Amino acid sequence: MEDAGTIGTILMILTFFTSYKGLRDNHFFEEYLFEVDKILIGKEYKRLITSGFLHANWIHFGFNMIALLSFSWSLEEEFGYLKFLLLYFVSMLGGSLLALWIHRHHGDYRAIGASGAISGVVMSSIIIFPEGSISLILIPIPIKSWLFGLLFIIISIFGIKNKSDNIGHEAHLGGAITGVLVTLIMAPWVIKENWWIILAILIPVIVFLILIVRNPAVLMVDKYWGENVKSVQNKTAKIRSIKSQTRKDKEEELDELLEKIRKHGMNSLSKKEKERLDELKNDL
């Protein structure tokens, strides 16, 4: 297909104009961004898609569009225009829906960007061409596509769990998995050819989703991955006991050194004992 990449270019141009409008017109921006209460209570379901055409700034826009153009060529050639559009928009919707479900109790949660759609496009390319290479702007060293896919999934899962940055990892993960599923429907031959990378991507996601469905506290409590609460309490108590005992031992050791100084003077301490005395004073 000589004009492969046409749809990607059109999507980029459309996204440019809507992002430009959003950055200049706050009313437009507020009208179409992703916001949980406006979607669930106000039933403004258009936001699941329209938010994908807004961006926070031109850097945000640039990263997403570079990724889109980088992968759209090969996928448009593989699928054709209509199927590529289906992949893009269904992945965008999948990313928004996972973000909506995870943040369903956070009414003021807001998000923008084409990340869900882009993640679906990237992951589709990865399961079709797993032995290819991907180069990132910030990391110019080529990375095997299959390895990039695994790292992407792992980072997304831990990003959702840790909530330590301002990145929409939920949309990334939802879009990525939707992209995989849509690709399997449109190109079932991939299941036979590249089953190993499909399983490597889907298994950790399925395990994570089952975990947070069965135990929502996993998303609410730091460093908690669903362990039995009693075992966590016992572990915590044990750690506290060890710390308490360690402090007690250090205090006794310090008392012994101070008593030696009281009786025989500072010069009675060896060089090693003097160094230990300094360590204990700093620790306690």
Q: Which domain, by its residues, includes 47? A: 6-219
Whether 101 and 192 map to the same domain: the answer is yes
Give me the sign of the Cα torsion angle 215, 216, 218, 221. negative
Whether 198 and 235 map to the same domain: the answer is no
Give the pLDDT confidence score for residue 1 in this predicted structure: 42
What CATH number does residue 107 fall under? 1.20.1540.10
Whether 255 and 193 map to the same domain: the answer is no
Domains of the chain: total: 2
Tell me the whole-structure pTM to 2 decimals.
0.78
pLDDT in tens, the chain (284 residues): 445 578 999 999 999 999 999 999 999 999 999 999 999 999 999 999 999 999 999 999 999 999 999 899 999 999 999 999 999 999 999 999 999 999 998 888 999 999 999 999 999 999 999 998 887 766 678 889 999 999 999 999 999 988 766 788 999 999 999 999 999 999 999 999 999 999 999 999 999 999 988 888 777 766 667 665 455 555 555 555 555 556 667 777 777 876 776 566 667 778 888 777 777 666 65
**CA 67 to centroid of chain Cα atoms:** 17
Give the pLDDT confidence score for residue 152 in this predicted structure: 94
Quick check: is 241 in a domain? yes
Whether 36 and 98 map to the same domain: the answer is yes
Give the pLDDT confidence score for residue 162 in this predicted structure: 83
Give the span between the Cα atoms of 97 and 178, in whole angstroms.
Answer: 10
Whether 235 and 176 map to the same domain: the answer is no
139: region left, alpha or beta (phi > 0 left; psi from -120 to 50 alpha): beta
3-class DSSP state of 226 = coil
CB atoms within 10 A of CB 159: 17
